[in-house]
Amino acid sequence: MKDIIIIGGGVIGCAIARELSRYKADILLLEKGNDVAVGTSKANSGIVHGGHDAKPHSKKAYYNVKGNAMFDELSKELDFPFRRNGSMVLCFEEDLVCGLQELYDRGITNGVPGMYILRGNEAIRELEPHISEKACAALVIPTGGIVSPYEMTVAYAENAAVNGVKFRFLSQVESVKRTDNGFEVACADGFVEEAKVVINCAGVYSDVISNMVCGTNYHIIPRKGDYVLMDKTCGYLADHTLFQQPTKMGKGVLVTPTCHGNILVGPTATDVLDKDDVNTTAEELNDAFTKACLTTPTLNRRNIITQFSGLRAHLDSDDFVIGESNVPNFFHLVGIESPGLTCAPAIGVEIAEQVAAKLGLAHKLHFEAKRKGIPHFATMSNTEREKLIEQNPLFGKIVCRCEVVTEGEIVSAIRRPVGAKDLDGVKRRTRAGMGRCQAGFCTARVMEILSRELGLPMEEITKGGASSNIVVGRTK
Amino acid sequence: MKEMICINCPLGCMLTVDDSDLSNIKVSGNTCPRGVTYAVNEITSPKRMVTGSVKVTGGNQAMLCVKTCEAIPKGLIFDCLEVMNGVTVQAPVAIGDVVISDVCGCGVDIIATKNIPKV
Amino acid sequence: MTNRNLVIIGGGPAGLAAAKAAYDCGERDIIILEREPELGGILNQCIHNGFGLHTFKEELTGPEYAARYIEQVEQRGIEYRLNATVIDINKDKQVTYVSEKDGLVTIQAKAVILACGCRERPRGAINIAGMRGAGVFSAGTAQKLVNIQGYLPGKEVVILGSGDIGLIMARRMTFEGAKVKAVVELMPYSSGLNRNIVQCLNDFDIPLYFSHTVTQIQGKDRVTGVVVAQVNDKLQPIKETEQLIPCDTLLLSVGLLPENELAKNAEVQLSTTTGGAVVDENLMTSVEGIFQCGNVLHVHDLVDFVSAESENAGKCAVEYIRGGQICKDKLTINCTNGVRYCVPTVLNKDEVYASQSFKMRVANVFKKVELAVFADGVKVYGKKRPVVAPGEMENITLSADIMKVLKNAQSVEITLIKGDAK
């Protein structure tokens, strides 16, 4: 019997887990994937939204502005990449400048600080020299930021684990039944556990879980977004996150730097039927890229290093469903789509408070609030590097050439609490394989390290858990 | 008349072979005399070099790469590979060491193509 | 910081040959920095034969070819570091490397030879849509897994790209018991050597589809199939021709790119065509004292040519260290009408006239053409070729007399005459 079971190891589930780990409680997080941050949390824009876009008085607006303000401190406390680079919404037609004013007004209502409107191409290009000459006005949102969404999720998870939260992976929840003491949660692999409180953070599957317990009729439409990632050599093309003003033609795509210096372009928006359909299509990628060139005309296809696609959990009602459901002690977070990543810190704190109040949980005497990330060799000074190699020579062994990732970092990623168990897990934590050769050089070496550290034969090393094995056997 | 690409060297000459009289095969398009030999052999008894690997223990590598020291009949390629699959050698090994002698009874040895010191 | 006359980055065929030649020119203060645990570079995983015909007049496998050079380097007692990755080099020729053993070391070099080879173009660079499950490998990654580590990446294989590594891997996977279902080539011709099509595909009845490409990868966790379609003359897939080929593995052999991140750090001027540096006839880059050779300069078809070029680089680096004249007046060679690029790219307009070889690649398959050199619009050299193809490097050697004319010219052009695209 657990006090709390959290379903879903995305950024929301992990944020709640971490905030709840401040209290004396027995907490278990169930994740159907092989790692945290393997659904929506790994494949999104990585934007910390200012909050100008959300409908006033919606939950999205409330948590967005509140969450946004928490990032500076949180990213330091949990040591994950975050930069307040500022966002801009670009207008390309004089006639539509009034639309920017509407966005500005909405932002004011939502409580977004510091916004202003820039007029004229020259003024815009002073801030962003590579923007199209057609941009005639821009709404600047200085509080906008960028974050590495999977590293943030991992940071939350690690810190939660250090403070006692248990994680169970490859645990797809099949049923949640009400019992006299609370709930009985059963997984596809036969695992069954009871808990007083269940928190449903199942992302695109959150409707299924809630409907199971609450008899509700939520309907999540997985909204697929395709992205294009550009080489770091074009990182100079944008410093702010550059949105296009939504028009009758559509929402437009964004061009943004990432925390690691790449340029990210996207997303498209296609409603799909399959909740696992992360199939990129040539048409959508073309579409995203073509639209992005409206913002930044000098983007060059030759510098594309990869494409990916993620699903947003879009709810018909268009706002988050957050909090305790009609079934006592069953909390749910349904339809957490953009700006969900920005909202996560605020949602984490509020849900934790609600659950703690409900169960009458007391604070722990010793809560470890700080988490130190994996040393990041690539961005260190030579003196720091020297010191690090002296302490541990494995930091002198470069495994991923493109991103300059050392064996020391990879070993650390594997050995940490909620450590990496597969190639993608190593990649999200260390960036090995994230660079321009896309793991061509380091795949075999990372596999060997995983095999050694986990004590698994090479045949059992996977790309991302389940049956994503990389080699099928020995040649002889 | 047959057209074939000479595989003796990376030049890959396009050969035209007149094999109407097997005792007098005529070859054109070759850059060097080896083209003629190749074409004649390809018609009468095609042969191939086989390269592959065998398991090795006691060294710093998992696999030892090997080759047939000369071309073997094309029809024996997979038999030859089968034999290689069943062999494990012990380090140290030096380039040229015979790993399997007279493979498949065709009179050709399989030799190591890498130096693997004992560790 | 330690001082060295010559630092060679990369201990593959290019670095080894450059080191050997530099030593033989009298230079003794040489160090090779190699990131792998052994010398030999990519040759170590190229266990097939076909190497060395030009250099050693016999056919060797990759590891045998490497061993010949490693032996020569060892015999000369040339110093090298293994597991040593260079992480930075600047225009003042300060080279920083790290290794488990040495920690972080910065060397002040008099001359640097960049011999760090190339890498494979990944899936992202060619925008193949679809799922992102396991089972998509660059051909070289698969080659390493099979040949060095002894693991089979998959059992049913489709290969995209008919470059040499793709062809070689088709045979290799077949030898190891996998079924290669198809090799798919975007262009109407192969960029690989003819002999490899014969030996690696035809021998085993592996179909080769020209003017086809992979339009989609299926399979959530692991590849379950790829969709292949014919392309039109603009290389765009024709929807109606799409067909699914069930497979568990897709190997990509879609081109090589010189690995020039270090050169960029050193502010070396790069060619947009080759991705390698712009070099003069001494193989010196735009940064004085930094040289390039081998596949980091331009992707070669045969390792023998890598060795020859690199020996030249070694020699020139030693001349530079000894205070050879630096010429500031340079002339850029224009490549036109189907000649994609040539190396060297620029000529020093100084007084030294020696015979000089030029290596180049063409942009398409052309039959019955003449490779011609023009100086100020006047033809000074011509070489008739029955056929030229993008997969094979062309080579011309100009006499000292012709070089004299070129060096006094205002413009030099290398071109193809009477070329009709096939």
For B48, the closest of C63, C199, C301 (CB atoms) is C199
pLDDT value of position C419: 52
Assign residue A30 the CATH number of its domain. 3.50.50.60
Q: Are residues A164 and A76 in the same domain?
A: yes
CATH code for position B74: 3.10.530.10
Percentage, residues of chain B above pLDDT 70: 97
pLDDT of residue B14: 86
Residues B18 and B37 in one domain: yes
Structure tokens given for B90: 């012990």
pLDDT tens digits for C345-368? Answer: 999 987 677 899 999 999 988 888
Domain stops at, among A258, A283, A309: A309
Active site residues of A: 49
Shared domain check, B12 and B33:
yes
Q: Of A309, A339, A362, which residue sits at a domain end?
A: A309
Please indicate, yes or no, if residue A476 is contained in any of the structural domains.
no
Helix (H, G, I), strand (E, B) or coil at C3: strand
Last residue of a domain, one of A256, A274, A309: A309
Neighbours of A300 (CB within 10 A): 12
Q: Where are the beta strands (DSSP E) in A209-303?
A: 220-230, 241-244, 254-257, 263-266, 270-271
B21 inside domain: yes
The pTM (predicted TM-score) of the whole model is: 0.94
Model confidence over B45-60: pLDDT tens digits? Answer: 999 999 999 999 999 9
Check if the beta carbon of residue A249 is closer than 8 Å to that of residue A292.
no
pLDDT of A1 strictly over 80: yes
CB atoms within 10 A of CB C330: 15
In one letter, which amino acid is C374? F
pLDDT tens string A37-68: 999 999 999 999 999 999 999 999 999 999 99
What residues 130-169 of chain C have any CB closer than 8 A to a CB of chain A? 130-135, 137-138, 140-141, 144-146, 148-155
Across A306-320, B65-79, B87-101, C319-333, least confident range: C319-333
Pair (A384, A446) in one structural domain: yes
Asked if C244 is an interface residue toward chain A (Cβ–Cβ < 8 A), one would say: no
Residues 457-476 of A with CB under 8 A from B: 475-476
CA distance C380 to chain A (A): 37
Task: Give me the mean pLDDT over the C222-250 stretch.
Answer: 97
Tell me how far apart the alpha carbons of residues C354 and C342 are, in angstroms, rounded to a whole number: 18
Q: What are the distances in angstroms from CA C265 to CA A65, A233, C86, C93, C236? A: 41, 11, 12, 11, 36
Could you tell me the residue range of the domain that residue A349 belongs to? 1-83+146-217+316-373
Each residue of A211-260: pLDDT tens digit?
Answer: 999 999 999 999 999 999 999 999 999 999 999 998 877 788 999 999 99
Judge whether A138 and A88 are in contact, CB under 8 Å.
yes
Rounded Cα–Cα distance for residues A27 and A20 (Å):
8
**Per-residue pLDDT at A335:** 96
Task: Determine contact, residues A189/A171, Cβ cutoff 8 Å.
Answer: yes
If asked whether residues A390 and A245 sit together in one domain, one would say: no
Query: B113 contacts in C (CB within 8 Å)?
Result: 47, 60-61, 63-64
How many CB contacts within 8 angstroms connect chain B with chain C? 73
Nearest CA in chain B to C62: B113
Name the percent of chain B lying above pLDDT 90.
72
Write the pLDDT tens digit of every residue in A256-302.
999 999 999 999 988 888 888 888 888 888 999 999 999 999 999 98
Mean pLDDT over all residues of chain A? Answer: 95
- Residue B97 and residue B62 in one domain: yes
Chain A residues closer than 8 Å to C155 by CB = 472
Residue B119 within a domain: no
Residues of A with Cβ-Cβ distance to C261 under 8 angstroms: 402
Residue B10 near residue C50, CB atoms below 8 Å: yes
Q: Does residue C420 surpass a pLDDT of 60? A: no
Dihedral sign, Cα of residue C26, residue C27, residue C31, residue C34: negative
Q: What is the pLDDT of residues C220-231, one digit of tens each?
A: 999 999 999 999
Domain check: are A226 and A290 in the same one?
A: yes
Q: Report whether pLDDT(C422) > 50.
A: no
Are B61 and B31 in a shared domain?
Answer: no
- C-alpha distances in Å from residue C304, one per residue of A216, A462, C276: 72, 38, 19
CATH code of the domain in which A434 resides: 1.10.10.1100
Check whether residue A206 and residue A351 sit in a common domain. Answer: yes
pLDDT in tens, B16-31: 999 898 888 999 999 8
Contact flag B65-C199 (C-beta cutoff 8 Å) = no
All residues at 6 or more sequence positions from C404 whose CB lies less than 8 Å from its CB, including other chains: C353
Closest of C207, C214, C211 to residue C242, by C-alpha:
C214
A13 phi/psi in degrees, rounded to 5: -60, -45
Taking only the tens place, the pLDDT of each residue in C108-142 is 999 999 999 999 988 877 788 898 899 999 999 99
Beta-carbon contacts of A323 under 8 Å, excluding residues fewer than 6 positions away, are: A331, A332, A351, A354
Asked if the C1-119+256-326 domain carries CATH number 3.50.50.60, the reply is yes
Distance from CA of C370 to the nearest CA of A (A): 32
- The arithmetic mean of pLDDT across residues C49-76, rounded, is 95
Task: Evaluate the CA torsion angle C134, C138, C144, C150 in order and state its sign.
Answer: positive
CATH number at residue A253: 3.30.9.10
Chain A contact partners (≥3 CB pairs within 8 A): B, C
B positions 58-97 inside 8 Å of C (CB): 60-63, 65, 67, 74, 77, 81, 95
pLDDT at A170: 96
Average pLDDT score over chain C = 94
Q: Which of A159-163, A233-237, C39-43, C124-128 has the lowest mean pLDDT?
A: C124-128
Distance from CA of C269 to the nearest CA of B (A): 32
Per the structure, the count of domains in chain A is: 3
Do A226 and A298 lie in one domain? The reply is yes
| Same-domain pairing of B8 and B34 | yes
Who contacts C409 (Cβ-Cβ below 8 Å, separation ≥6)?
A: C331, C375, C376
Q: Chain C: residue nearest A232 by CA?
A: C261
Domain co-membership, A18 together with A52: yes
- What was the pLDDT predicted at C349? 86
**Is B104 within a domain?**
yes
Q: Would you state the structure tokens that stand for residue C4, as one six-digit string?
A: 């060295």
Nearest to A386 among C104, C149, C155 (CB): C104
Instruction: Say which CATH topology domain C122-254 has.
Output: FAD/NAD(P)-binding domain (3.50.50)
Torsion angle of the four alpha carbons A91, A92, A96, A101, in this order, in degrees rounded to the nearest 10? 20
* pLDDT above 90 (res C4): yes
B25 inside domain:
yes
Q: What is the ipTM of this complex?
A: 0.92
Q: Are residues A75 and A153 in the same domain?
A: yes
Q: How far is A40 from chain C (nearest CA, A)?
A: 15
Residue C418 pLDDT exceeds 80:
no
| pLDDT at residue C421, rounded to an integer | 42
Instruction: Please indicate if any CB of chain A lies within 8 Å of the CB of C337.
Output: no
pLDDT at C384 over 70: yes
A466 CB near a chain C CB, below 8 Å? Answer: yes
Asked if residue A466 is part of any domain, the answer here is no
A residues 399..418 contacting C (CB < 8 A): 401-402, 404, 406
Quote the pLDDT of residue B23.
87
Q: Of C372, C282, C384, give the one whose Cα is nearest residue C335.
A: C372
- Does residue B13 form part of some domain? yes
C-beta neighbour count of A368 within 10 angstroms: 12
The tokens for A370 are 């700080």
Same domain, B11 and B61: no
**Domain limits at B101?**
51-112
Mean pLDDT computed over A359-369:
97
Cα(A472)–Cα(A108) distance, rounded to whole angstroms?
Answer: 57
- Residues B38, B67, single domain; the answer is no
If asked whether residues A201 and A302 sit together in one domain, one would say: no
CA distance B86 to chain A (A): 8
Mean pLDDT of C248-257: 94
Query: Do A55 and A151 reside in the same domain of the chain?
Result: yes
The tally of domains found in chain B comes to: 2
pLDDT band at A125 (very low <50, low <70, confident <90, very high): very high
Interface test mutation site (partner B, options C58, C172, C191, C193, max chain B beta carbons within 10 A):
C193
What number is the average pLDDT over the span B56-71?
96
Residue A180 and residue A273 share a domain: no
- What number of other Cβ atoms are within 10 A of residue A7's Cβ? 27
pLDDT, tens digit (0-9, with 9 covering 90-100), for A19-28: 999 999 999 9
d(CA A96, CA A91) in angstroms, rounded, equals 7
Residues C404-416 pLDDT 10s: 999 899 999 999 9
Sequence ranges of the domains in chain C: 1-119+256-326, 122-254, 328-422
In chain B, residues with a C-beta closer than 8 Å to the C-beta of C53 are: 9-10
Chain A hits for B61, CB-CB cut-off 8 Å, are none
Cβ of residue A389 closer than 8 Å to a chain C Cβ: yes
